[in-house]
Structure 1
Amino acid sequence: MNKGVSLSAQLQKYFGFDRFKGQQEEIIESVLEGNDTFVLMPTGGGKSLCYQLPALLQEGTAIVISPLIALMKNQVDAIRSFSTEEGAAHFLNSSLTKTAIQKVKDDVLAQRTKLLYVAPESLTKEENIEFLKNVNISFYAIDEAHCISEWGHDFRPEYRRIRPIVNEIGHAPIIALTATATPKVQHDIQKNLGMLDARVFKSSFNRANLFYEVRPKVKPVEQIIKYIKDNTGKSGIIYCLSRKKVEELAATLQVNGIRALAYHAGMDSSTRSGNQDKFLMEEVDVIVATIAFGMGIDKPDVRFVIHYDIPKSLEGYYQETGRAGRDGGEGHCITMYSYKDIQKLEKFMQGKPVAEQEIGQQLLLDTVAYAESALCRRTILLHYFGEHYEVENCGSCDNCMNPKEQIEGKEMVVLALNAVTEVKEQFKGEHIVNILIGNDTAAVKSFRHHEISIFGSGKEYDVRLWNAVFRQCIISGFLRKDIENYGVLKLTDEGRNYLKNPQSFMVVKNHNYEAADEEPTAPQGASAGDPELFKMLKELRRKISQKLNLPPFVIFQDPSLSDMSIQYPTKLEELQGIAGVGQGKARRYGKEFVELIAKYVEERGIERAQDMVYRSVANKSKNKVFIIQGIDRKIPLDEIASSKDQSMDDLLSEIEAIVHSGTKLNIDYYLNDVLDEDQVSDIFAYFREDAESDSLEEAMAELGEEYSEEEVRLVRIKFLSEMGN
């Protein structure tokens, strides 16, 4: 039986598939022939099979080096499920007990184990090196190989030590696999692993079903809420750079009626895995996460991936957007972009080693070029990974759907290529642009480039247009970035030919993304936006308060009425976006208010703002959840305050805000400890019968001789909670 047939039969036998995907078969043959093999295959392409099947077919044990303990466990479980030999796969890492480690070693030495998964940290331990010297190793598989390169999006220094350790343990072929690698990263991986002569297999990076879009980051929370509500029931991931923003955004989505949960590395593992499982099981629609989320997540029907913050590199961006539409169905990739975010990322780099800063800066420049470009996003992305995409209009990115202005750029291209030649092909694009526009920066002066003939020769065009010209020269193949000294521009043969015979060249102008507006905040005072409506709302509140025999401030406070007169909410759902109005209050008292506003808007032909100000949560949303849970569990308030390192005064302010927003809290258990029943009744009666507002000053003037401010505030909380919520 020829090898091709037998490989297909083995695939069926071990994995139950009747055919290979893409280049899997050729890759497996390369490994079985003992070649060093480099595999570049996008997420979902079936990388793991490329080392699992040859490991099962060969004598000895394959050593699989992987950075993710959770993934190791999943793969080991999967292999064991279709192997008759219990010890066919094992992992060796810090999560195992001494007994478990000994069991692994016994199985490996008895040649029962075909795949041994090892974390790079475990590989470097002397005892493991000594153990592996006695093992018959079929080959080494290095998964997530981009971790080797400082230019990769997930660099891990311990990966740089793999080759010396392999040399120490004993020679065997190497297969290196990654889902994202630019030509620079690929070269880095092969060079570091000593496998420049490896057989290279590259799959296309084009994900035809994904739609790429970059939006100006103006009121991003409102944009996101509107998008999710327009796509109800669809699964999505929202990536933020900071844990704090993850929690704030998840809480904001929740209060706006969206089934969302947070996920980041700072959460305890059970909460984190619980949230992940709820997303996989469709108990929630949206996960708001840092980039810690998604490694090894195999949810095929993620319909949108939103980047609240621009990623640090295009590799990271490709990896994260690649989690959308893995079933081949719809996948919408939206990025919120503001140059302010880039400046923040640059600040984070300060204080890091110079080499690391330079790499980070170059990766950021590529990200900025992608975000601001008006060219086809797919073309730019694929070119970044060394793949040419010749289609004129991809039909599934914002720039192709709304083509941008083009201008004749022949003279600019000639000037750009001549400038690269003039500086001896030894400088990066940013430096050459500074020369062309006549910007005598310290770097330009230090190389005396302010004295050369081309200095200032392109000053009639701005930096953005020159950046667009250089980007398009690279994509058209006139220039390339040097691999050894990444970012330095070199002329290609095509570029030299263009200089000899310049042709018409249409340049697409880059976008001008202005700095994002600050996110709006709810009005703090009680000044009305529409005085007439404000007056009508107050009158309605007075009537309802009389009917219900409640003080008006219990129903809605003045700042809430003021916000209504600005926002014109005409539905209960929109009313929940008003300052100080929670879901409970909207349901209990809101119907007559939105009916009045809807009638008012219609009669006067008022055009409401397109985007309602959605309900926001204070930055301390996590703290509020903690407080509510503490009160539910009847933990004394002074203990809640001390556990959060807060004063009692600050804690009561937070509890008041929670109650004003419509959440009902029962603090009777605490009140009964600090006041007797008659005292509580006395203060409660003041607010029920005498108070004209919920003013603490007025209450203290009336009650202050007998009660402390804290006691009055506590009973006021009970009153507002019971009567208003």
Structure 2
Amino acid sequence: MDISSAKAALKKYFGYDNFRPMQADIIENILQKQDCVVLMPTGGGKSICYQIPSVILPGCSVVVSPLISLMKDQVEGLRSNGIKASFLNSSLNSSEQRLVEEEFFQSQIDLLYVSPEKLLSQEFFPLLKRANVNLFAIDEAHCISSWGHDFRPEYTQLGFLKRQFPDIPVVALTATADKITRRDIMDKLQLEDPQLFIASFDRPNLSLEVRPGQKRLEQILAFIAQRPKDSGIIYCLSRKRTEEMAAKLNDRGFRAAHYHAGMSPADRDQVQEDFINDNIPIICATIAFGMGIDKSNVRWIIHYNLPKNIEGYYQEIGRAGRDGAKAATLLFYSFADVSLMQDIIQKNESENTEVQLAKLERMQQYAESLACRRRILLNYFGEDLNENCGNCDICKNPPEYIDGTVIAQKALSAVYRLKEQVGVNMLINVLRASGRREIMERGYDKIKTYGAGRDIPFVEWRDYMHQLINLGYLEVAHDQHNVLKLTPASKRALFDQEAVQLVKMTTVKERLKAEKAKAKASAPKSTRQRTRDELFEELRQLRKRLAQERGIPPYLVFSDATLEEMSATRAMNDLDMQRVSGVGQRKLQLYGDEFQEAIRDYVRRNSNHISGSTVLVTYDFYKENLSIEEIARERNLSPATVYSHLEELIKNGYEVDIYRYISKEEAERVWKSRKYVEQPARLKDLYELMNREIPYEKIRLALAYSK
């Protein structure tokens, strides 16, 4: 088996033409029977990495998964794509378990999902030894490490797999693991020279925002009112808060339910089913909710309270926008949350209390920082990003910066000369030439940078140090008593003259004061009511009806992102439908005809006029001289949909200056190229003829304008 077989399976079962970054490399590694550890963000495509090998290799892959609900969702999703999959856990009765075990033994299924408890049970082991297993996949692998944010003792016994099955490859997968946790995963699973794959943690479709914790309810109501038809999760710290929040939302006309570990299993299952099937759009939950949810069309996440670490926060916001379409995240922050979380951590008296408190402090720094939030998150996970994202509250309303290159060089040089063996406070004391006895005893007063920062007060130095950590110029080694370590970025600042921008200290104080006053004064109001694309809404209603008829969640029919692409491209035949990302063979057979007919019907109804249509709303924004990206952001649509609106406006005689969005040279090139392709000109032929240098959207705009 080779990667060409894997690519064919990707198109056949999942409807995708190409692998995402790293997926092909990971699959090749598995096909060569090599162990590997995979870090990919939630929604980044981890499951594909073991699901594709499972369908092209002889035998069956065994997937260890910690949650029954997650197994059920994933198996349903695989079956809907035409893949043979089953699960074994405590939700099955004895006869159902025997049937699945027989299928497993006879290699009649491609994937078997099992709980760690089932895998470790004495009755299952003999079957495991006799079955034709081609791969072990350990999902949520961070659960194996006490350094991880969701440690589970039963995972620590999974090291027996390499001892008992040394020739079968093991792939460990997780969405959140820092350097300590990654090492722990490799050691505890006893992997043999594993290849480490770290995909980009960047989720550019997620907007990031932090607000002060005043008047949270009012702010939440305004936030949800802007997204009236979208699914979302509000994470709360306490069970009582989830119940209160759900009740308040219902009182104000929103459909919401609460979810926490204190509810009966039947009640929890019902809430989860209602959410998955789009019957209840809003869930107010503790962190017990979400890990087992494979719902791709969650459009927003709110954190009512500050999470206890960045790993958990990133995993939770990652549950939004798994389909790649735009999604929003909002975090409320107050110092009272920090104090409460500190008390909880200290009362637990864990052996990792010091590390947990340090990670909470990093979470607090994230919330208080005025640096690009995406840079902070990515740098935390070791991804060197030195450009701002443009899609967080800081980038959209940037603070005043200073040239902090010299400040950074003083700090980084001191870390280097101190051999990366001190923490933040000691480093500042050295820079400020403190006369502390331990500095003299250790000889730190002899280094060249001793006293190099005596002109900056301690408090300001501490803030600058937090900024340097958040921006990735320094990292904290939690397993070495929180000493500071240099990074690739710090080497660039020291030796390659990379400029370092730091937020001006007076700006930090003024900004915090202004934000608190704004939150107290009134909840934010939407300047424009968001309008959904009409065809998208019709397709979404069709999706829900088909899902209800089949008794499956709507997102297993098609994701929001797939519906957006259908709507934008007006896919009205099998060929066009197959080009839509997320439409595989099985789904084309099951649903293609009905979705094509719905699109044809919409086009027939709207071919001669667009009066009252959502397209006219886009035209209003166009007349305000907004860019494609700005219109898309305001309307919460994809840029492709905005382009399709402009195309429709042009065809219906509205005055649209296409040269705002496509250069005259590009338009001329499209018009000239049209003569050299078979008529009527197909977009794909023109795209290929022009060496794929002009995007489809611009080609369509030029063609519409020339008619």
TM-score where L is the length of structure 1: 0.63
Aligned partners of 1:438 and 1:450 also within 8 Å: no
* Shift in Å, 1:610: 4.2
1-structure distance, mates of 2:368, 2:298: 26
Quick one: structure 1 residues 111 and 360, their matched pair in 2 at CA, closer, same or farther if it must change by over 3 Å?
same
Q: CA offset at residue 239 of structure 1?
A: 0.9
**Displacement after TM superposition at 1:347 (Å):** 0.7
- Look up the equivalent residue of 2:106 and give its one-letter code: A
8 Å contact from structure 1 (residues 374, 509) kept in 2: no
| Aligned-partner SS, 1:172 | coil
**Aligned counterpart, 2:680:** none
Instruction: Please give the residue correspondences for 1:470-489 in structure 2 after superposition, counting only pairs within 5 Å.
Output: 470-474=465-469, 478-482=473-477, 485=480, 487-489=482-484
1:466 aligns to what?
Answer: 461
Match of 1:654 in 2: none
Q: Deviations over 1:358-411 (max 9, x none)?
A: 2211221221221111111111111112222233x4221111122223234345
**Offset, 1:14:** 4.5
Task: Indicate the percent of aligned positions where both proteins have the same amino acid.
Answer: 43
Q: Note closer, same or farther for the CA distance 1:209–1:611 as it changes in structure 2 (3 Å cut).
A: closer
Q: Secondary structure at the match of 2:480?
A: coil
SS of alignment partner, residue 130 of structure 2: coil
Gaps of at least 5 residues in structure 2 are: 525-707
The counterpart of 1:407, out of the listed 399, 402, 413, is 402
The AA in structure 2 aligned to 1:274 is: Q
Given that 1:40 and 1:181 are in contact with CA atoms closer than 8 Å, whether structure 2 keeps it comes out as yes
Which of 351, 362, 367 is the aligned partner of 1:366? 362
* SS class of match (2:75): helix
**What displacement does 1:353 show?**
4.3
3-state SS of 2:177 partner: coil
Question: CA 1:447–1:271 in 2, change beyond 3 Å: closer, same or farther?
Answer: farther
Confirm or deny that 1:416 pairs with 2:407.
no
Alpha-carbon distance in structure 1 between the residues aligned to 2:167 and 2:299:
45
Per the TM alignment, residue 485 of structure 1 is displaced from its structure 2 partner at its CA by 3.0
* 2: CA distance, partners of 1:165 / 1:33: 18
Q: Is the 8 A contact 1:419 1:432 kept in 2?
A: yes
Q: Larger RCO: Structure 1 or Structure 2 (Cα < 8 Å, ≥ 6 residues apart)? A: 2
Contact 1:435 1:450 in 2 (8 A): no
Q: Write out per-residue CA displacement over residues 405-425 of structure 1, whole angstroms, 9 at most, x where no aligned residue.
A: 323434533442354346542
Question: Equivalents in 2 of 1:108, 1:70: separation in Å?
Answer: 20
Distance 1:515 1:445 in 2: 41
Residue deviations 1:281-336 (CA, integer Å, cap 9, x gap):
44444221111222243444433211110111112111221223334443221111
Q: So what's the TM-score if we normalise by structure 2?
A: 0.65
Q: Secondary structure at the match of 1:167?
A: helix
Residue 24 of structure 1 aligns with an amino acid whose one-letter code is: Q
Q: Give the equivalent residue in structure 2 for 1:34.
A: 33
Partner Cα distance (1:418, 1:319) in 2: 34
Matches within 5 A, 1:450-529: 452=445, 461=456, 465-474=460-469, 478-482=473-477, 485=480, 487-491=482-486, 495=490, 505-509=500-504, 511-512=508-509
**8 Å Cα contact 1:374/1:508 also seen in 2:** yes
Pick one of 202, 205, 213 that aligns with 1:206: 202
- Amino acid in the other structure paired with 1:48: S
Is the counterpart of residue 64 in structure 1 residue 59 in structure 2? Answer: no
1:289 corresponds, among 274, 285, 290, to 285
- Partner of 1:44 in structure 2? 43
Give the drift of 1:430: 4.8
Q: 1:435/1:251 Cα in 2 relative to 1: closer, same or farther (>3 Å)?
A: farther
* Structure 1 Cα separation of the partners of residues 351 and 431 of structure 2: 27
Map of 2:542 onto structure 1: none
The letter for the 2-side match of 1:473 is L
> Does the 8 Å contact 1:241/1:309 carry over to 2?
yes
Tell me how far apart the structure 1 counterparts of residues 156 and 210 of structure 2 sit (CA, whole Å): 35
Deviations 1:163-191 (A, max 9, x none): 13441355411111122233333333223
The answer (yes or no) to whether the contact 1:378–1:394 under 8 Å persists in 2 is yes
2:224 equivalent to 1:228:
yes
Change (3 A) 1:100 1:213: same
2:422 is the counterpart of 1:427: yes
In 2, Cα distance between the equivalents of 1:279 and 1:99? 30
Q: 1:498 to 1:18 in 2, by over 3 A?
A: closer
**Aligned partners of 1:276 and 1:167: how far apart in 2?**
38
Q: Find the aligned partners of 1:242 and 1:462 in 2 and give their Cα distance.
A: 39
Deviation at 1:141, TM superposition (A): 0.6
Q: CA deviation at 1:9?
A: 3.1
Partner amino acid, structure 2, of 1:210? L
* CA distances 1:200-224 after superposition (whole Å, capped 9, x unpaired): 3333222222221111111222222
Distance 1:335 1:12 in 2: 38
Aligned to 1:316: 312
Q: Is the 8 A contact 2:70 2:293 kept in 1?
A: no
Instruction: Identify if the C-alpha distance between structure 1 residues 102 and 515 changes in structure 2 by more than 3 Å, giving closer, same or farther.
Output: farther
- Say whether the 8 Å CA contact 2:105–2:127 is kept in structure 1: no
Most deviating of 125-134 and 448-457: 448-457
User: Which residue in the other structure is 1:337 paired with?
Assistant: 333
Q: CA deviation at 1:339?
A: 1.9
Report the Cα offset of residue 140 of structure 1: 0.9
Structure 1 contact 239–289 (Cα < 8 Å) conserved: yes
Q: How far is the alpha carbon of 1:143 from its aligned partner?
A: 0.9
Secondary structure, counterpart of 1:350 in structure 2? helix
Contact 1:449/1:455 (<8 A) preserved: no
Deviation at 1:450, TM superposition (A): 12
CA deviation after TM superposition for structure 1 residue 91, in Å = 2.4
Cα distance, 1:147 vs. partner? 1.5
Structure 1 gaps of 5+ residues are 521-607, 613-725
Match of 1:116 in 2: 112
Aligned partner letter, 1:395: G
Give the distance between the partners of 2:402 and 2:17, measured in 1 at CA: 53
Partner of 2:245: 249
Larger Rg over CA atoms: 1
1:258 corresponds in structure 2 to 254
Correspondence list, 1:89-128, <5 A: 89-128=85-124
Q: Distance in 1 between matches of 2:215 and 2:188?
A: 45
In the aligned structure 1, how far is the partner of 2:173 from the partner of 2:81?
A: 23
Deviation at 1:51, TM superposition (A): 1.4
Let me know the Cα RMSD of the aligned residues: 3.7
Aligned equivalents of 1:501, 1:275: Cα separation in 2: 55
